[in-house]
Amino acid sequence: MKHVAAALLAATSLLAVGSASALEIKSSDVHAMGYPTTDAIAAMGECLSEKTDGDMTINIFHSMQLGGEKEALEQVQLGALEMTRVSVGVVGPIVDDFNAFNLPYVFRSIEHSHHVVDGPIGQDLLARLESGGLIGLGFMDAGARSFYNKERPIEKPEDLQGLKVRVMQNPIFIDMMSAMGGNGIPIAFNELYTALQTGVVDGAENNPPSYLTQNHYEQAGYYSLTEHLIVPEIFVFSKKVWDGLDESQQTAIRECSKVATEKERELWQKMEQEAMAKLEEMGVKINEVDKAPFIEITAPVREKFGEKYAEILGKIEAVE
Ligand code: GTR
């Protein structure tokens, strides 16, 4: 996979040599085109191309062509890749305070998460990514994540006992699973379908659009609406490349980033509804969940990290 990725990047870099100020921004995403995140980055590309008379364009490497999200972030930090769209779930290891977003039941609702990421908390976190070699361009929606597995509906935390549940590659999610009684196993998104198929894990957790479009429902047909995490998406630019751009290019990227965020939120709502309908149609066994016991059982995780993230957690809670 690494060789294929390197060859692809090298080939497109050659193609990108054009007029002196021309810049082809390569951007990766684990999702296919037609997903809200990829289509939003495509809209950003159109915006950039219009603004710069075609000098700046975005070439999207979708569908995990460049591998998983951790590697993508590394490539962007190195400047080998200009941009990537990933989950905030994998950004915690770069700027620790992002992990406040990765704690279970921290956001009261999607609206609450919007108010947080659109306000000073979100903007400050984006700015702090510079220390990790990244320029934070914006957030996107990813709804709420719920459990799915092969064995049974999850109605109460005890139902998770004995299940091997794939989590994103960030140790904080292993703690979350332990608190709930399950066994959290970090695996890259691009390796998850096979892990479900071969029984390396019994289940995973994600929002309805990802569960559907990755065909995970074929392997794990119980979907239980625990909505335990609201983890936003984020798109970031390489600081190495950014520092070589002129101000007008940076301004154009900033302005078109807003187009991407807005577009994604609009597409997300529609996609989420459609995904739920489609999952039902495919015979997935979906169950509603009383969230109170899940909130209660995950309190120790919020307490464990509470001190570390006290300042930002306090600010998040104070947001309406
Ligand atoms: C999806 C998200 C991806 C990826 C994936 C995962 O909801 O859009 O960026 O993080 O979840 O679970 O790894």
For residue range 229-283, what is the model confidence (pLDDT) as tens digits? 999 999 999 999 999 999 999 999 999 999 999 999 999 999 999 999 999 999 9
- Specify whether 118 is located in the same domain as 203: no
Q: Name the band, by pLDDT with cuts 50, 70 and 90, for residue 21.
A: confident
Residue 93 has pLDDT above 80, yes or no: yes
Q: Does residue 197 share a domain with residue 222?
A: yes
pLDDT at 8: 58
Tens digit of each residue's pLDDT (9 = 90 or more) over 148-187: 999 999 999 999 999 999 999 999 999 999 999 999 999 9
Residue 102 lies in a domain: no
The answer on 115 and 157 residing in a single domain is: no
In a domain, 103, yes or no: no
- 51 and 173 share one domain: no
In this structure, is residue 225 part of a structural domain?
yes
Q: Is 146 in the pocket of ligand 1 (CB under 6 A)?
A: no
User: Ligand 1, residues 190, 193, 210, 233: which to mutate, most atoms within 8 A of Cβ?
Assistant: 210
| Any ligand 1 atom below 6 A from CB of 89 | yes
Same domain, yes or no, for 65 and 149? no
Residue 37 lies in a domain: yes
Cβ of 95 below 6 Å from ligand 1 = no
Q: Residue 313 is part of which domain span?
A: 145-230+274-318
Instruction: Please check whether residues 279 and 210 belong to one and the same domain.
Output: yes
Instruction: Supply the mean pLDDT for the chain.
Output: 94
User: Do 298 and 163 belong to one domain?
Assistant: yes
**How far is ligand 1, taken at its centre, from the CA of residue 236, in Å?**
15
Residue whose CA lies nearest to ligand 1 atom number 1: 210
73 and 219 assigned to the same domain: no
**Per DSSP, what are the bridge partners of residue 185?**
166
Q: Whose CA is nearest to atom 11 of ligand 1?
A: 206
Give the global pTM: 0.93
150 and 286 inside one domain:
yes
Task: Please give the distance, rounded to the nearest whole angstrom, from the Cα atom of residue 47 to the centre of ligand 1.
Answer: 25
Do 91 and 190 share a domain, yes or no?
no
pLDDT-based confidence at residue 6 (cuts at 50, 70, 90): low
The reported pLDDT for the residue numbered 14 is 47
149 and 257 part of one domain: no
In a domain, 268, yes or no: no
- Which CATH number is 32's domain given? 3.40.190.170
Ligand 1 mean position, distance from CA 170 (Å): 12
For 112-129, write each residue's pLDDT tens digit: 999 999 999 999 999 999
Number of structural domains, the chain? 2
